């Protein structure tokens, strides 16, 4: 059994309710563990992030572009130029608007907040038409290393969900010197492709329906067609965030990012690669070999389980991946769906501030 200071208990957040801070407020869970090491952030107690209603902000003040590695990356930047860096990473089928409320909250705390479009999304473009549209897990992490280099960011707090959690986990595992601390929704998501070859429970397989759809030519064509891509991604939003009362305009702001000319190719390759149905590039084998071993993460970390997300394993206490985090650690849980930063921005921002103060 894992030693805990307290066992996780979830808090209910009603539809349309303001996000609740995770900084020790009543009803929100937090199981802290000193782990096997400590890496200091700011000294002193973490400040309380002001509570805002999800959807308070609908846009970023402006987007920037920068050449980084294989890409010209589109990104939002908020906060002081010389503030401590936080990089917020989105998932699928989402975009930078998952952080449209989180970024201003962190900027107000003095952070330099970077929210990039991942490859194949939004205004991010490949520099060469000849580059293979590869979406294997190590490549997306290398994109973020290249972005940090281009922005002259030596070290940052990395925070993400879905593809963003996986990318953050990889960065923390393979390049810990670049990661000050980590917030990872759904915990340890580094893909083990051999394990992916084995079946899981029928109910869990059902949840992954679109992954198997994308393994077919039918699914590929659906992602290439604007109308079907729109309806499919909207359906995923509805299914994985069952209590999030978002409006059409909220979805459409994100759906605009799916018009990237490489979107379908990146999404299809990502899911086919995970299932062993598409190959990556041999030059990345050295990274994938390390990731296949399930490397531990030693940087300070807060994991958050969204309890209403159908992908969250029961009971959502994080015990299934606890042994993967060997540094200063805390686990939290929320009665929230899959798109946790947009559904509960204050709670997500508070986790970033708290882990930075470990």
Residue 8 scores a pLDDT above 70: no
Percent of the chain with pLDDT strictly greater than 90? 85
- Give the tens place of pLDDT for each residue, 200-252: 999 999 999 999 999 999 999 999 999 999 999 999 999 999 999 999 999 99
Tell me if 341 sits within 8 A of 57, measured CB to CB.
no
Predicted local distance difference test score (pLDDT) of residue 305? 98
Band the pLDDT of 340: cuts 50, 70, 90: very high
- What the block records as the tokens of 322 is 């606890």
- Give the tens place of pLDDT for each residue, 141-185: 999 999 999 999 999 999 999 999 999 999 999 999 999 999 999
Any residues with CB less than 8 A from the CB of 105 and at least 6 apart, and which?
49, 50, 52, 345, 346, 349
DSSP state of 59: S
Predicted local distance difference test score (pLDDT) of residue 47? 96
Indicate whether this model's pTM tops 0.75: yes
Predicted local distance difference test score (pLDDT) of residue 264? 98
**What is 77-120 written as a DSSP string?**
EES-TTSPEEEEE--TT--GGGGTTHHHHHHHTT-EEEEEPPTT
Rounded to 5 degrees, φ, ψ at 130 are -85, -10
- Give the tens place of pLDDT for each residue, 95-133: 999 999 999 999 999 999 999 999 999 999 999 999 999
Residue 11 scores a pLDDT above 80: no
Predicted local distance difference test score (pLDDT) of residue 39? 37
Predicted local distance difference test score (pLDDT) of residue 40? 40
């Amino acid at each position: 059994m894992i030693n805990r200071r307290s066992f996780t208990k979830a808090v209910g957040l009603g539809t349309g309710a303001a996000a609740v801070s995770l900084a020790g407020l009543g009803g929100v869970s937090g199981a802290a563990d000193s782990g096997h090491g400590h890496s200091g952030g700011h000294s002193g107690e973490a400040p309380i992030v002001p509570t805002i209603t999800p959807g308070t902000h609908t846009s970023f003040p402006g987007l920037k572009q920068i050449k980084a590695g294989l890409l010209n990356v589109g990104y939002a930047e908020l906060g002081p130029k010389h503030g401590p860096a936080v990089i917020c990473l989105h998932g699928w089928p989402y975009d930078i608007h998952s952080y449209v409320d989180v970024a201003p909250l962190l900027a107000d705390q003095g952070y330099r907040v970077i929210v990039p479009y991942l490859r194949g999304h939004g205004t991010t473009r490949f520099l060469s038409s000849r580059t293979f549209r590869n979406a294997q897990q190590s490549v997306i992490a290398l994109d973020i290393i290249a972005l940090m280099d281009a922005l002259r960011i030596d070290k940052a707090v990395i925070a993400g969900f879905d593809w963003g959690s996986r990318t953050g986990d990889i960065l923390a595992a393979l390049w810990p010197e670049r990661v000050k601390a980590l917030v990872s929704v759904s915990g340890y998501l580094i893909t083990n492709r051999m394990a992916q070859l084995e079946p899981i429970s029928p109910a869990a397989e059902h949840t992954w329906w679109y992954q198997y759809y994308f393994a077919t030519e039918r699914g590929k064509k659906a992602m290439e067609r604007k109308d079907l891509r729109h309806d499919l991604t909207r359906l995923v939003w509805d299914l994985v965030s069952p209590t999030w009362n978002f409006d059409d305009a909220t979805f459409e702001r994100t759906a605009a990012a799916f018009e990237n000319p490489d979107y379908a190719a990146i999404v299809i390759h990502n899911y086919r690669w995970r299932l062993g149905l598409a190959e990556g590039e041999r030059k990345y084998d050295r990274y994938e070999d390390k990731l296949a071993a399930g490397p531990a993460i030693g940087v300070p970390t807060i994991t958050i389980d969204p309890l209403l997300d159908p992908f969250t394993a029961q009971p959502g206490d994080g015990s299934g991946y606890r042994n993967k985090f060997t540094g200063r650690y805390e686990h939290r849980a929320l009665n929230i769906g899959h798109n946790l930063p947009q559904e509960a921005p204050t709670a997500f921002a508070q986790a970033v501030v708290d882990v930075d103060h470990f």
